[in-house]
């Protein structure tokens, strides 16, 4: 009986496929007229038989080969890339105390999310920078947002592929790697951070970018104004003095960037303020209140990249959630990579210096030489100012202090280098890697770059349509409210009409 049932099923399936094949064949031999009605009429063209192109179809016209290409990228941590050795020990004064979060009234440590899509050397530098500055590696989550699925986990991509990421190296450093299911935009990735916070029940979390190099205030007093620094906000004059004159490493009262972040979180909780973000150099390092993100509806996934922060910040402001620039450590927004990341572990046998992974053509560098000279003159004045500041020297040993000063100066130079031509070349590092052709899920690097900026432009237009306003000044320049999204006319049209009336 069982055998008969199986035979009957097979017979029905075979009959079904024969009938379907006949219908397809009949449709293609005798296509239906426009007036006839048939379900076959709606079959997409893609299902029709593929034929070779006509003989008179011209060949494709290829773009010219670029006259300048950046050199191959390198792994900036050869110790971990080429040996089975353990990572070096971090500076002893930056070793985080066990369960430090409990000292600041937190039941569990908030995670630090660092999103990654492309350019492995930059990500590795950011991660090692946080670890050596005192951030516990177990609290760092690298979010692999490459769109290559398990290829990096299986080690199937090579270093020159823009989407290459070394899971083994990150696990050896002690950080957690989380993979997105597909390639996400910036706004979608922010919502992905929020999703993890819900899943793991984190009411607060931090996020950072991969193009940063951070330090704790190991030298003590630090007065340098770095590109992207904000106007710091303080809750009292006593707090201002404390934050602006940090204690040197090795002395009682010294705090790492991680401890300063925990301390700032504790402060804002105690104040019972309706707060959304705390920025530690705009959003290069940000503390997030999950409740605030939820209240304003999350990040707008239809505004994928630039302008999505304008949208979020406006919604926060309209709904009464505060956003303040606070000071917790040294954060450099960079586009270059240290030649060997062992210098962050204070290997005195190696000299701190950086390399541009995507240098400009020589003729372009010549064009910005004048601006660079002006910045060097400004830096010289800062150094003269530094020499007049009294510093306490009894914290770290003289050798440790001097090495950190050299390292910090190189980090500052890296930040200045990124803005050596204003903001024109600040994202050029994203185009450094150009290999990977033939590897799984390969995507042309120039094509990715072009598509990215096309989506960015589209997102800006969506933002303008959504709010009827151009620019990031929604809260200060308009009377719009949270409920006004997609409901208002374009204000720039009104301005044109008013201009015509007054002329």
Torsion sign, CA atoms 39, 45, 47, 53:
positive
**Predicted confidence (pLDDT) per residue in 393-413, tens digit:** 557 899 999 999 999 999 999
177 and 226 share one domain: yes
* Bridge-based pairing state of the strands 354-355 and 204-208: unpaired
310 and 459 share one domain: no
412 and 455 share one domain: no
109 and 170 share one domain: yes
**Predicted confidence (pLDDT) per residue in 284-301, tens digit:** 999 999 999 999 999 999
Structural domain includes residue 124: yes
Q: Is the pLDDT of residue 113 over 50?
A: yes
- Angle, in degrees to the nearest 10, between helices 445-467 and 308-318: 30
466 and 352 share one domain: no
Listed in sequence order, the DSSP H helices in 30-119 are 78-82, 100-103
Structural domain includes residue 455: yes
* Domain end position, chosen among 376, 396, 431: 431
Question: Could you list the residue range(s) of the whole structural domain that residue 399 is in?
Answer: 78-360+388-431
Query: Locate tokens 């592929």: which residue?
Result: 161
Residue 45 is predicted with a pLDDT of 60
164 and 129 share one domain: yes
84 and 202 share one domain: yes
143 and 254 share one domain: yes
Residue 10 is predicted with a pLDDT of 65
142 and 185 share one domain: yes
**Predicted confidence (pLDDT) per residue in 45-55, tens digit:** 655 566 666 67
Confidence at 363, pLDDT banded by 50, 70, 90: confident
- pTM assigned to the model: 0.86
Q: Rounded mean pLDDT of 429-434? A: 86
416 and 474 share one domain: no
Q: Is the pLDDT of residue 41 over 70?
A: no
* Domain end position, chosen among 398, 431, 464: 431
CB count, 10 Å around CB of 214?
24
Give how many domains the chain has, as a whole number.
2
Structural domain includes residue 392: yes
Q: 238, 256, 239: which is closest to 247 by C-alpha?
A: 256
Helix (H, G, I), strand (E, B) or coil at 417: helix
400 and 425 share one domain: yes
321 and 455 share one domain: no
Residue 70 is predicted with a pLDDT of 85
């Amino acid at each position: 009986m069982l055998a008969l049932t199986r035979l009957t099923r097979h017979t029905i399936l075979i009959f079904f496929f024969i009938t379907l094949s006949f219908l397809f064949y009949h449709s293609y031999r005798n296509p239906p007229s426009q007036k006839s009605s048939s379900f076959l009429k709606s079959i997409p063209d893609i299902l029709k038989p593929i034929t070779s192109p006509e003989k008179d179809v011209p060949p494709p016209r290829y773009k010219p080969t670029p006259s300048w290409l950046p050199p191959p990228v390198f792994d900036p941590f050869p110790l971990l890339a080429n040996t089975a050795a353990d990572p070096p020990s971090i500076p002893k004064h930056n070793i985080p105390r066990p369960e430090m979060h409990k000292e600041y009234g937190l039941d569990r440590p908030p995670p630090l999310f660092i999103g990654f899509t492309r350019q492995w050397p930059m990500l590795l530098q950011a991660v090692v920078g946080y670890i050596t500055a005192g951030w516990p590696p177990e609290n760092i989550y690298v979010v692999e947002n490459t769109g290559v699925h398990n290829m990096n986990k299986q080690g199937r991509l090579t270093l020159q592929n823009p989407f290459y990421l070394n899971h083994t190296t990150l696990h050896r450093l002690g950080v957690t790697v989380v993979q997105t299911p597909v390639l996400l935009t910036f706004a979608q990735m922010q919502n992905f951070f929020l999703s993890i916070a819900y899943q793991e029940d984190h009411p607060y979390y931090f996020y950072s970018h991969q193009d940063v190099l951070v330090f704790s205030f190991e030298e003590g007093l630090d007065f340098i104004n770095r590109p992207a620094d904000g106007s710091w906000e303080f809750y009292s004059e006593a707090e201002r003095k404390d934050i602006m004159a940090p204690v040197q490493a090795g002395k009682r009262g010294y705090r790492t960037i991680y401890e300063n972040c925990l301390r700032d979180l504790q402060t804002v909780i105690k104040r019972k303020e309706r707060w959304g973000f705390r920025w530690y150099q705009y959003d290069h390092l940000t503390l997030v209140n999950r409740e605030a993100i939820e209240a304003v509806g999350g990040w707008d996934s239809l505004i994928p990249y630039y302008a999505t922060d304008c949208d979020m910040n406006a919604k926060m402001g309209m709904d009464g959630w505060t956003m303040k620039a606070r000071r917790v450590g040294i954060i450099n927004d960079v586009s270059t990579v240290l030649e060997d990341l062992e210098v962050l572990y204070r290997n005195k046998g190696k000299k701190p210096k950086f390399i541009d992974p995507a240098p400009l053509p020589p003729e372009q560098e010549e064009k910005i030489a004048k601006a660079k000279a002006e910045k060097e003159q400004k830096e010289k004045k800062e150094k003269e100012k530094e020499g007049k500041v009294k510093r306490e020297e009894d914290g770290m040993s003289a050798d440790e202090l001097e090495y950190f000063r050299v390292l910090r100066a190189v980090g500052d130079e890296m930040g200045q280098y990124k803005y050596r031509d204003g903001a024109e070349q600040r994202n050029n590092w994203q185009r450094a890697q150009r290999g990977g052709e033939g590897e799984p899920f390969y995507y042309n690097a120039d094509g990715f770059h072009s598509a990215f900026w096309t989506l960015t432009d589209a997102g800006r237009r969506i933002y303008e349509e959504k709010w009827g306003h151009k620019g990031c000044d929604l809260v200060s320049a308009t009377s719009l409210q949270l409920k006004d999204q997609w409901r208002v006319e374009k204000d720039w049209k009104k301005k044109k009409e008013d201009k015509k009336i007054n002329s």
